[in-house]
Amino acid sequence: MTNARDRLIVGLDVPDLAIASAVVSELGDTVSFYKIGYQLAFAGGLDLARELVRDGKQVFLDLKLLDIDNTVAKGVESVLGIGASMLTLHAYPKAMRAAVEAARGTDLCLLGVTVLTSMDAEDLREAGYDIDPQALVLRRAEQARQAGMGGIVCSAAEAASVRDVVGPDLAIVTPGIRPAGSDHGDQKRVMTPADALRSGATHLVVGRPIVKAADRKAAALAILADMQA
């Protein structure tokens, strides 16, 4: 399961370091890649990120940067000091270009967030976009490719069409992954682990199906087995 293990990212979407540390301890060597987003980052998660990197784990900082060019660039420079493997920013062209320049010559994989997997066409209309989710995803994906980004974050439902746009080399990271029969929660565009890989995803982000499981290690192993198959 080595290949699958490198492609499974467990989302540490928990409220404090004690719970996050318990998750990491319970999963042990089963998992090698963790995502830290707003919730944990604002509760000491950036220090945990440094610890995970020191322990040989990979870290995906899901911070979705978006600001003026200088602020985005300085934020990327600070992230480089943490040693994270991946960092997200919203896929707006100016922000992406600033981030790419700041990370040039490093191993940090910058990921453009296209359309959140909790959003559907009605949500986009409410936000003022007169475009359907898939069309906006593809527009953002092309802009990310032109900016020199390392990859894309999108729903697995759009992974195949995004792959056609960005070519073979960019990472495609897909949240909203749910094992067959599991609760979708607030996600609206979801897919099983195996189907996501078949659709062209390179990395799968799985949070609640593992973190909320009674036996987290067993849940992770089940997902890895599905990915391997």
What DSSP character marks residue 191?
A: B
Say which of 6, 47, 57, 62 is annotated catalytic: 62
Using CA atoms, how far apart are residues 50 and 181, in angstroms rounded to an integer?
A: 35
* DSSP string across 63-78: EEE-S-HHHHHHHHHH
3-class DSSP state of 45: helix
Is 207 known as a binding-site position?
Answer: yes
Is 68 known as a binding-site position?
Answer: yes
**Is 169 noted as a catalytic residue in this protein?**
no
**Beta pairing partners, 217:** none
Is 65 known as a binding-site position?
Answer: yes
Is 67 known as a binding-site position?
Answer: yes
Say which of 29, 55, 67, 107 is annotated catalytic: 67
Is 226 known as a binding-site position?
Answer: no
Is 138 known as a binding-site position?
Answer: no
CB of 36 within 8 A of CB of 61?
Answer: yes
**Is 67 noted as a catalytic residue in this protein?**
yes
Say which of 57, 64, 212, 217 is annotated catalytic: 64
Is 54 known as a binding-site position?
Answer: no
3-class DSSP state of 112: strand
Structure tokens at 197: 């890989």
Is 164 known as a binding-site position?
Answer: no
Residues at the annotated binding site?
Answer: 13, 35, 62-71, 117, 178, 187, 207-208
Residues at the annotated binding site for substrate?
Answer: 13, 35, 62-71, 117, 178, 187, 207-208
Catalytic residue positions?
62, 64, 67
